[in-house]
Amino acid sequence: MDNLKRSQDNMRHLLIKYTSTLIMGYRAGLTSFACVVFVWGMLGCKSKPSEQAAAPEEESITTKIKINNLNNEAIALSQYHGKTVFINIWATWCGPCIKEMPSIERAKNILKDRNIAFLVASNESIEEIQGFATKRNLDLQYVQLQNLEELNIQALPTTYIINPAGELVFLETGYREWDEAANIELLTKIIDNQ
């Protein structure tokens, strides 16, 4: 009788242990599943940028960006068709923008024999831009951006790179050393349409 009771106790103990393991495994499995679903939902639902850019009703980047030279004359980006266009959006009060500018000038000099135009665009007054240009003495083509709000730029500096076909191929917000080897390689690949 003792053996029978012991066997029943052992069976109960094993059953409880097995059931607990199943329940814990089930909970862990559910938690893992919930995490996978959450991450997939957060990451998997974004549209691809190329799909957004391909929308037929979307305006071409070369007509969307509106700039004037420092004589207050409109410049059509379409005049650069067949050329890579580097446009850096900046401001005189933006520390990272100012820090980045010498590297843009050096990149321009490194690529001077290549088919690329470097523009630095601010939405500030022409007088403010000219004053900055005179004070900094950088060999850059300064332009005045006419429609910052329409471009939905959230932070500065922001850089657009448009390929020779007039397509936006690079858009980045934030500071970058444009004369570093990796960035020169990036620009060269865009110029060469690779």
What confidence score (pLDDT) does residue 62 get? 80
Across the chain, mean pLDDT equals 80
Average pLDDT over residues 153-171: 94
Q: Which residue has the higher pLDDT, 157 or 10?
A: 157
Q: Which residue has the higher pLDDT, 48 or 152?
A: 152
pLDDT in tens, 73-101: 999 999 998 999 999 999 999 999 999 99
What confidence score (pLDDT) does residue 60 get? 80
pLDDT over threshold 70, residue 187:
yes
What confidence score (pLDDT) does residue 63 get? 85
pLDDT over threshold 70, residue 33:
no
What confidence score (pLDDT) does residue 149 get? 87
Q: Which residue has the higher pLDDT, 65 or 35?
A: 65
How far apart are the C-alpha atoms of 104 and 120, rounded to whole Å?
Answer: 9
